[in-house]
Chain A
Amino acid sequence: MSDDLTQSRLGAMTYDPAPESAAIVTFRDAYGLFIDGRFTDPSSHDSFATINPATETVLARVALASASDVDVAVKAARRAYETTWSKLSGAQRAKYLYRIARLIQERSRELAVAETLDNGKPIRESRDVDVPLAAAHFFYYAGWADKLEFAGYGAKPTALGVAGQIIPWNFPLLMAAWKLAPALAAGNTCVLKPAETTPLTALLLAEILQQADLPPGVVNIITGDGTTGSALVDHPGVDKIAFTGSTEVGRLIQERVAASHKGLTLELGGKGANIVFEDAPVDEMIEGIIDGIFFNQGHVCCAGSRLLVQESIADDVLRRLVRRVDQLRVGDPLDKNTDVGAINSAAQLARINELAAYGEHEGATRYTSTCVLPDKGYWFAPTVFADVAQSHRIAREEIFGPVLSVLTFRTPDEAVAKANNTKYGLACGVWSEKGSRTLWVAQRLRAGVIWANTYNRFDPTSPFGGVRESGFGREGGRHGLEAYLDVH
């Protein structure tokens, strides 16, 4: 190749900073607990700081809910369920959900900036994915609220009562929408506990609920840490627990909920396989692999963190992939041109570093982006491991970071066997221009979600959830209603 071609770095034209203004959102210095329609101080007056992971600066202080605060919140939810929410018709509930959806759209820019500040994800993603999808979930389930009898769950399906909902830090607002929208449409009231490191958009959502005149107590938002979540899980006044998070915590919750009256749905970890056959549409496939693992810094439970590539094209795919990884723009999450933002917390960064180091130790070949990382904040350069074996830790454990493990296969059978050789079962991708093979493979994969010639695409009409150690229950679509209806 000639010199000028080898020098032709993809994306080498520099882009001046194009930051979205952080001033679009104004956080209060301190937030209380959102109980019974208003912000209240926690009984203990304990609080903790939430920081911007890209700069390590404090954004606000939020209340730490104790067991007694949880009790107050659950009782408020019960009161609202019995006196107000269960008395409303589906159409009346829908009115509130539509209002919330529209308010999310109206305040979308503010919510996107808040999400990026608190979480570290690129503004392009919070603006184009998280916030629009959150609004879409409310719109979608608003449509179901007066049509529950046609959802296939009996002639007159009824709500469960009070739902306790615990959400993760990777898509804070979107996960709140995934939990609240179907629960409210089905007629439940909610106690929502946002993640410790990303509480702010849930608290902005609380303001939106006030703006929407949602009756007090229908949704209560309590910030806190693991002890808060634990108190919510154990509270006898809760009829249903919905949890999204790690498999370890999910297992603890299932033990605690066992033999109680409480319903349970769990959306846990994953180690998704992205399977690439030699007839895949190559350029879109490379983009799909990139989206699959570097979207949201790889903080995605359904991330395509294992790439299974047919051996006949493995070298070419790896070359194209490494070139593309080097092109990713890593840095200020508020910059509109940033592709990969900050790791959400120091603890998560430590875990990613540990597993990546283990990958090298196990003998995998490491390719790390040559991008320059900022001095402050939590950062991890996008990384690809080639020559990974099924037995390696980086092929088995969920890294939950921008780290891809590349393995090869020879035949469709071997691809399926390797893809299924995991304790998880959340999502897989299949890349091929041959429809019959895609279907053959998809039918044999043990995963809740299979994407064909794409990855990490979400829509409120499509059910999402896992099998095996990735959990059970579905969110989204008609199926998502089942988690919040008494169907027995």
Chain B
Amino acid sequence: MSRVSTAPLRLVTRDDRAVQLPSNSSLPSIESEAQLRGLLGALSGVDAVGAEARAAKLATRSLKKSTKLAALDLAISMVDLTTLEGADTPGRVTSLCAKALHPDANAPEVPSVAAVCVYPDLVAHARTVLGASTVKVAAVATAFPSGRASMAVKVLDVKEALDAGADEIDMVIDRGAFLAGRYGQVFDEVVAIKELCGATHLKVILEVGELKTYDNVRRASWLAMLAGADFIKTSTGKVGVSATLPTALVMLESVRDFAEATGLRVGVKVAGGIRSAKDALRYLVVVNETAGSSWLTPDGFRFGASSLLNDLLMQRLKQHRGAYVRPDEFSGD
């Protein structure tokens, strides 16, 4: 399945995309690895000090009252409730799905989360439990989390997830290839997986903790978007450094600029280490003031998290009642 990277690369056609695209989109056609390299090389560099200062400044925004309540509910609706453990069982996934559908048993008005995120072998079970609900089943595939497998294995991984009924695929890029400068190979892989996915949402995990520099994050973001990603995602959650506010800032700047250049809106998913509602609200502020308010939907922004959900519920109840409740008010899933 793998292509010779120097050979012409074909982009997914616009009709393959999950989102209905504007008619005037102008995705550049990538004909060669040299062209791709030139395109990525021409991207503006990122000044790390400046990016971190900007993120820190946005983190001082203060959300109060109705803004805070609306933002908490919005954040809940953007959660990809995730379990990615070797110890996962059907029973565990069943209870996670129940939590996804009705996060707070005592408050039916609380929105469902966006998706549950599981390994491919548990997709069928999750699909059955979730039934016809709006909650999507997302599967991590392509030899998640390291991505160290042959393309044939990655393709099979994705196919199985799709056949089992996954609505969304979270793939990892080959960080080794990216860091070695084999951009064409990474591009080919994303294109191939997107072709398999068709209308199914494809989230491309950059694993920013391994890319290390913001310049790399920006290049990898553009590479994934050019190759047909519906979402770009920070991390697997399996390495030391996962999502950070400045990394999200750089990725949101990238999707904003990509949308301006092509008319295509790509979403951003932050994953790993986001545990508090306060952190989640900070991300929403960065989304609002960087990509813009049209990204403030589950189609535009997601949180990959598990323990975050209960803190969002806790803060939500605090806003309504004026006092904190005990953590045991919420189910522990």
State whether B65 touches A16 (Cβ < 8 A): yes
B275-311 toward A: CB 8 Å interface, digit per residue (1/0)? 0000000001000111111111000000000000000
State whether A18 touches B263 (Cβ < 8 A): no
State whether A12 touches B265 (Cβ < 8 A): no
Residues in chain B near residue A287, CB distance under 8 A = 50, 53-54
State whether A281 touches B46 (Cβ < 8 A): yes
A1-36 toward B: CB 8 Å interface, digit per residue (1/0)? 111110111111111111000000000000000000
A5-B263, A336-B62 given; A10·B292 CB < 8 A: yes
Residues in chain B near residue A14, CB distance under 8 A = 67
The yes or no answer to A284 lying at the interface (CB within 8 A) is yes
State whether B293 touches A124 (Cβ < 8 A): no
Total of A-B residue pairs, C-beta within 8 Å: 108
State whether B289 touches A336 (Cβ < 8 A): no
State whether A8 touches B295 (Cβ < 8 A): yes
Option from A11, A18, A284 in Cβ contact (under 8 Å) with B63: A18
> A38: shortest Cβ distance to chain B, in Å?
38
Bound together, the chains give a CA A1 to CA B24 distance in angstroms of 7
State whether B22 touches A2 (Cβ < 8 A): yes
Question: B259 — nearest CB in chain A belongs to which residue?
Answer: A5
State whether A1 touches B63 (Cβ < 8 A): no
The yes or no answer to A288 lying at the interface (CB within 8 A) is yes
A1-B22, A5-B259, A433-B45 given; A10·B61 CB < 8 A: no
State whether A8 touches B22 (Cβ < 8 A): no
- Most central of B22, B68, B296 by chain A CB within 10 Å: B22
Bound together, the chains give a CA A135 to CA B44 distance in angstroms of 37
The yes or no answer to B7 lying at the interface (CB within 8 A) is no
The yes or no answer to B151 lying at the interface (CB within 8 A) is no
> B299: shortest Cβ distance to chain A, in Å?
10
Residues in chain A near residue B294, CB distance under 8 A = 4-5, 7-8
State whether B292 touches A9 (Cβ < 8 A): yes
Bound together, the chains give a CA A288 to CA B53 distance in angstroms of 10
The yes or no answer to B64 lying at the interface (CB within 8 A) is yes
The yes or no answer to A283 lying at the interface (CB within 8 A) is yes
The yes or no answer to A282 lying at the interface (CB within 8 A) is yes
The yes or no answer to A149 lying at the interface (CB within 8 A) is no
Within 8 A of A (CB), among B141-195: none
The yes or no answer to A459 lying at the interface (CB within 8 A) is no
Bound together, the chains give a CA A285 to CA B253 distance in angstroms of 13
The yes or no answer to B107 lying at the interface (CB within 8 A) is no
Option from B51, B64, B71, B288 in Cβ contact (under 8 Å) with A284: B51
Within 8 A of A (CB), among B109-139: none
State whether B45 touches A454 (Cβ < 8 A): no
Bound together, the chains give a CA A45 to CA B290 distance in angstroms of 54
Residues in chain A near residue B47, CB distance under 8 A = 281, 284-285, 433, 453-454
A320-332 toward B: CB 8 Å interface, digit per residue (1/0)? 0000000100000
The yes or no answer to B49 lying at the interface (CB within 8 A) is yes
- Most central of A4, A8, A287, A454 by chain B CB within 10 Å: A8
Residues in chain B near residue A279, CB distance under 8 A = 44-45
State whether B291 touches A8 (Cβ < 8 A): yes
State whether B62 touches A12 (Cβ < 8 A): no
Residues in chain A near residue B51, CB distance under 8 A = 283-284
Bound together, the chains give a CA A336 to CA B61 distance in angstroms of 7
> A34: shortest Cβ distance to chain B, in Å?
33
Option from B45, B49, B60, B293 in Cβ contact (under 8 Å) with A9: B293
Residues in chain B near residue A10, CB distance under 8 A = 288-293
Q: Number of B residues contacting the other chain (C-beta, 8 Å)?
A: 38
The yes or no answer to B66 lying at the interface (CB within 8 A) is yes
> B291: shortest Cβ distance to chain A, in Å?
7
Question: A11 — nearest CB in chain B belongs to which residue?
Answer: B289
The yes or no answer to A56 lying at the interface (CB within 8 A) is no
Residues in chain B near residue A12, CB distance under 8 A = 288, 292-293
Bound together, the chains give a CA A287 to CA B49 distance in angstroms of 12
State whether A11 touches B62 (Cβ < 8 A): no
Bound together, the chains give a CA A401 to CA B291 distance in angstroms of 29
The yes or no answer to A82 lying at the interface (CB within 8 A) is no
State whether B292 touches A336 (Cβ < 8 A): no
The yes or no answer to A337 lying at the interface (CB within 8 A) is yes
- Most central of B47, B63, B288 by chain A CB within 10 Å: B47
Bound together, the chains give a CA A282 to CA B50 distance in angstroms of 10
State whether A282 touches B44 (Cβ < 8 A): yes
Bound together, the chains give a CA A158 to CA B253 distance in angstroms of 54
> B248: shortest Cβ distance to chain A, in Å?
13
Residues in chain A near residue B54, CB distance under 8 A = 283-284, 287
A121-137 toward B: CB 8 Å interface, digit per residue (1/0)? 00010001000000000
Question: B288 — nearest CB in chain A belongs to which residue?
Answer: A13
Bound together, the chains give a CA A337 to CA B259 distance in angstroms of 27
B246-289 toward A: CB 8 Å interface, digit per residue (1/0)? 00001001000001100101000000000000000000100011
Residues in chain A near residue B260, CB distance under 8 A = 1, 5
Residues in chain B near residue A103, CB distance under 8 A = none
State whether B291 touches A337 (Cβ < 8 A): no
> B305: shortest Cβ distance to chain A, in Å?
21
State whether B296 touches A13 (Cβ < 8 A): yes
Bound together, the chains give a CA A297 to CA B9 distance in angstroms of 51
Option from B66, B253, B289 in Cβ contact (under 8 Å) with A16: B66
Option from A1, A11, A288, A454 in Cβ contact (under 8 Å) with B288: A11
The yes or no answer to A280 lying at the interface (CB within 8 A) is yes
Question: B253 — nearest CB in chain A belongs to which residue?
Answer: A283
A4-B294, A9-B293 given; A453·B50 CB < 8 A: yes
Residues in chain A near residue B290, CB distance under 8 A = 10
Question: B291 — nearest CB in chain A belongs to which residue?
Answer: A8
State whether A337 touches B68 (Cβ < 8 A): no
A5-B259, A453-B47, A453-B50 given; A18·B293 CB < 8 A: no
> B39: shortest Cβ distance to chain A, in Å?
16
27 examples of A-B residue contacts, CB within 8 angstroms: A2-B22, A2-B263, A4-B265, A5-B294, A10-B289, A10-B291, A11-B288, A12-B293, A13-B67, A13-B71, A14-B67, A15-B62, A15-B64, A16-B66, A17-B64, A18-B63, A124-B60, A279-B44, A283-B46, A284-B50, A284-B51, A284-B54, A285-B47, A288-B50, A433-B45, A433-B47, A454-B53
19 additional contacts (CB under 8 A) given A281-B47, A454-B50 = A2-B22, A8-B292, A8-B293, A9-B293, A11-B288, A11-B292, A13-B71, A13-B296, A15-B62, A16-B66, A17-B64, A279-B44, A281-B50, A283-B46, A283-B50, A284-B50, A284-B51, A433-B47, A454-B53
**Nearest 8 interchain pairs by C-beta:** A284-B50, A8-B292, A2-B22, A8-B294, A18-B62, A282-B44, A281-B47, A12-B293
